[in-house]
Amino acid sequence: MNVTRAKCAGACYGVQRALNMALDTVSEGSRAVTLGPLIHNPQVVAQLAERGIRAVESPEQAVEGSVIIRSHGVTPQVRREIEARGLPVVDATCPHVARAQKAAAKLARECGHVVVVGEAGHPEVEGLVAYAREAGGEVLVAGREADVPAGLSGKVGVVVQTTQTREAFEEVLAALRDRGVECVVKDTVCLATRERQESAAALAREVDAMIVIGGRNSSNTTRLAEICSLVCGNTHHIERASELDPVWFDQCTEVGITAGASTPEDQIAAVEARIASLG
């Protein structure tokens, strides 16, 4: 079998930056906590715990060491709660997410009403909603056309979760405009996300099987799997090489691999090696 990796795959700048900042924080034996998982990759989170960086669910659980704000960012309220505890704060929010937070607040001030295109309940989306509301805006989260209410009208600001697909973004925009809504748009889809989605789709069209590597709790990895599945029915989303099933590759001559923005190189290499051993 010939195994080909997508041109753009694996850990993005924001994720690698967060990992480097976290490891630098404990490089001299210090301890640290992250509010929620630093990134959406269970294996990496477990490795960080072994290095003295454990995940907690709320600021109240941070009692010693540094508090690391994860790559997805936090709400303004949570940030204030962290600072009030008097512990050192390491802000590992992805710069692209920080830009989206500022855009949400600016749109709220300018338009009064903001639509966040994204996945309800995702930590990044919760942050975008909170920044817009703190700036005085009314906020709606819409992940698809059906989430756009018929009664929405007037001038509305639109911001998008950085890891959303271009198709979802354009679907919600079209629904808003079809209802006569005047949209002030801030396109905050991350370039790294677009590159990974486009290169994965291109590769998936050319192979007999497609393997997508990354945390099942990672929205950007899940979207990669969805995109690949549309053009390659033999697509499988895995977290580790041990999940590979030889049956998937029966009669396959071309196998493609891609990985989410929270997937480090060593995890991709392990999958490549395992597939090669099956051929």
Question: For the purposes of burial, counting CB atoms within 10 Å of the CB of 19, is it exposed (0-12), middle (13-18) or buried (19 or more)?
Answer: buried
Is residue 40 part of an annotated ligand binding site? Answer: yes
Task: Name the catalytic one among 124, 126, 239, 272.
Answer: 124
> Are residues 225 and 254 in contact, defined by beta-carbon separation less than 8 angstroms?
no
Name the packing angle between helices 13-25 and 95-111 (round to 10°). Answer: 110
Is 124 annotated in the active site? yes
Is residue 218 part of an annotated ligand binding site? Answer: yes
Is residue 111 part of an annotated ligand binding site? Answer: no
Is residue 220 part of an annotated ligand binding site? Answer: yes
Is residue 8 part of an annotated ligand binding site? Answer: no
> Are residues 22 and 89 in contact, defined by beta-carbon separation less than 8 angstroms?
no
Please enumerate, by residue number, every residue annotated as part of a binding site for isopentenyl diphosphate: 40, 72, 122, 218-220, 262
The residues assigned a catalytic role are 124
Residue ranges at the known binding site:
12, 40, 72, 94, 122, 162, 190, 218-220, 262
